[in-house]
Amino acid sequence: MGNTFPPDPPDAPSGNTAGAFLINLWQVTMGRIGQLRPKQQVSRWFTVDEAKIAEILATVRAQLPTTEAILIGKPQAGKSSIVRALTGVSAEIVGQGFKPHTQNTQRYAYPSEDLPLLIFTDTVGLGDIAQSTDAILAELAADLEQGSGQARILILTIKITDFATDTLRHIAKGLRQDFPTVPCLLAVTSVHEVYPPEVENHPPYPPDLEAVNRPYEAIAANFQGIADRTVLIDFTLEEDGFTPVFYGLEALRDALADLLPEAEAQALYQLLDEQNEAARQLGNLYRDVGRHYVSAFAVIAATLAAVPLPFATMPVLTALQVSMVGLLGKLYGQTLTPAQAGGVASAIAGGFFAQAIGRELIKFIPGLGSVIAASWAAAYTWALGEGACVYFGDLMGGKKPDPQKIQAAMKDAFAAAKTRFKEERGVRRAEE
């Protein structure tokens, strides 16, 4: 895995002294790197001891706009489908990702426990006559009382055909009384189950059907004074044959944005935008799921790289990218320590180490550098994730990882992602 591409200097603005300075500094830096032994060239930047990684990740985690969505509803009421819609991961991965939290709840952190953008807490005991409603309420209240500082939101899920809602109302009402500042969203699900026989697919959203509006309005009225907003959704599987698969996703996204603080809402919007792009890239199950994880890390990387201090964010971005590689390894069945993940990142990074240096040097250009650096950081993180997917995919298939195939995948991913991130940033700035 020692093969690398010859590093190219960054493009310099013609007639600009800053450009000449960049080229000179680039040449000096590359000269010093060239004096290192081959194994030191990239690993010197990517190898971080586990204690340091833990320290850096703790700092980043404390600054992330993390949102905890507490999902309350009966089994099969659409809670896992909401997780799929907001994260983009497959139903199989969502099912494996939830871990016991308390006796009656489970928790799933996305994209990872180390750096969560979204945390889902699912009530697994609701609807089970063997479970005490008061016990479930007490566990949820204890969780909310911890007050970690992250944004919280209650998401109540009810199938449109279910009118036995006394237990859910009791729990939701109790939580709203004790925690009035925690917003509550009511999601009415499984809309297609009440379509008239002649309606074979989703109508334009919102559906103007009496068979849908009548039960939807009745459920909404039943939770008036408890839920802040009510939204109608129908999230199915591809094999169910309904288009779109996530019917009402935009309405759910907008409702969450209205109820969440600004930072969390913006992160959610950007996360969903990244998933739309990732969903268009075809691949096998693992690559497709891996891209959704990579997109989340790219969002974080772009935010961190916008700090206008050359090299100030490199250790943090390094820890972020090492964490991403470790998570992707776990997805492919490879459990890695942070140090091992750093070694894999070093091995697959190759010539793209030069791009990381270029990203930092460009910050010396006044008024322009940080914007470009953010796009480059996101693109570089995306490319590294693509390379890691190829690397781990080869291992899972019993093959020896092919350096040329990995480098080609990273080169293509970096070029495409850099262009896309720049265009998206330009569109957002124009809209502002």
d(CA 220, CA 238): 28
- Confidence band (pLDDT; 50, 70, 90) for 401? confident
- Structure-model confidence comparison of residues 281 and 358, the more confident one: 358
* HSE-CB of 44 using CA atoms within 13 angstroms: 12
Most confident of 31-40, 140-149, 225-234, 369-378: 225-234
- Of 376, 404, 392, the closest CA to residue 293 belongs to 392
pLDDT score of 411: 83
Looking at the structure, do residues 317 and 209 belong to the same domain, yes or no? no
Give me the pLDDT at residue 289, please: 67
- Is residue 255 located within the same domain as residue 360? no
Looking at the structure, tell me whether residues 209 and 323 fall in a common domain.
no
Q: Is the predicted pLDDT of residue 43 greater than 60, yes or no? A: no
The length of the chain in residues reads 432
Q: Indicate whether 50 and 106 sit together in one domain.
A: no
Predicted local confidence at residue 431, as pLDDT: 55
Give the DSSP H or E segment for 67.
strand 67-73
Q: Is residue 327 part of a domain?
A: yes
Confidence at residue 390, expressed as pLDDT on a 0 to 100 scale: 87
- Domain final position from 260, 285, 310: 260
Q: Which of 162-176, 282-296, 340-354, 402-416 has the lowest mean pLDDT?
A: 282-296
The answer on 205 and 89 residing in a single domain is: yes
Residue 16 forms part of a structural domain: no
Q: SS3 of 367, please?
A: coil
Residue 32 has a pLDDT of: 43
pTM of the entire predicted model? 0.65
pLDDT of residue 396: 61
Q: Domain total for the chain?
A: 2
Same-domain pairing of 256 and 278: no
Higher pLDDT, 204 or 48: 204
Q: Domain boundary residue among 260, 281, 296?
A: 260
What is the mean predicted confidence (pLDDT) over 211-229? 96
The mean pLDDT of 240-254, rounded to a whole number, is 93
In a domain, 200, yes or no: yes
The edge-to-edge listing of strands for the beta sheet with 184-189 is: 99-100, 105-110, 118-123, 67-73, 151-159, 184-189, 229-232
Q: Report if residue 266 sits inside a domain.
A: no
Last residue of a domain, one of 210, 230, 260: 260
Q: What is the pLDDT of residues 365-387, one digit of tens each?
A: 444 445 556 677 788 888 889 89
pLDDT band for position 1 (cuts 50, 70, 90): very low
Residue 332 predicted with pLDDT over 90: no
Least confident of 13-17, 99-103, 214-218, 416-420: 13-17
The top-scoring range by mean pLDDT among 44-48, 199-203, 293-297, 315-319 is 199-203
pLDDT at position 321 is 83
Q: How does residue 250 score in pLDDT terms, banded at 50, 70 and 90?
A: very high
Task: Specify if 317 maps to a domain.
Answer: yes
Please tell me the least confidently modeled range out of 48-52, 89-93, 105-109, 257-261.
48-52
Same-domain pairing of 80 and 141: yes
Asked, for residue 20, whether it belongs to a domain, the answer is: no
pLDDT at res. 293: 77
Instruction: Please state at what angle helix 338-349 crosses helix 38-46, rounded to 10 degrees.
Output: 130
Per-residue pLDDT, 432 = 53
Looking at the fold, whether 232 and 305 belong to one and the same domain comes out as: no
Q: What is the pLDDT of residue 220?
A: 96
What integer pLDDT is reported at residue 179 of this predicted model? 93
Q: Is residue 32 part of a domain?
A: no
The Cα-based distances of 225 to 133, 158, 160, 228, 421 in angstroms read 21, 17, 19, 7, 42
For 70-97, what is the mean pLDDT? 85
Whether 85 maps to a domain, the answer reads yes
Residues 290, 253, single domain; the answer is no
- Structural domain boundaries enclosing 156: 66-260
Does 71 share its domain with 47?
no
Average pLDDT over the chain, rounded to an integer: 75
Percent of the chain surpassing pLDDT 90: 27
At a CB cut-off of 8 Å and minimum separation 6, what does 325 contact? Answer: 336, 341, 342, 344, 345, 384, 385, 388
Q: Do 413 and 382 fall within a single domain?
A: yes
Cβ(338)–Cβ(323) below 8 Å: yes
Share of the chain above pLDDT 70, in %: 67
The more confidently predicted of residues 6 and 193 is 193
| SS3 call for 105 | strand
More confident of the two residues 170 and 63:
170
The stretch 11-20 carries a mean pLDDT of: 41
Residues 111 and 254 grouped into a single domain: yes
DSSP 132-166: -HHHHHHHHHHHHHT--SSEEEEEEEEETT----H
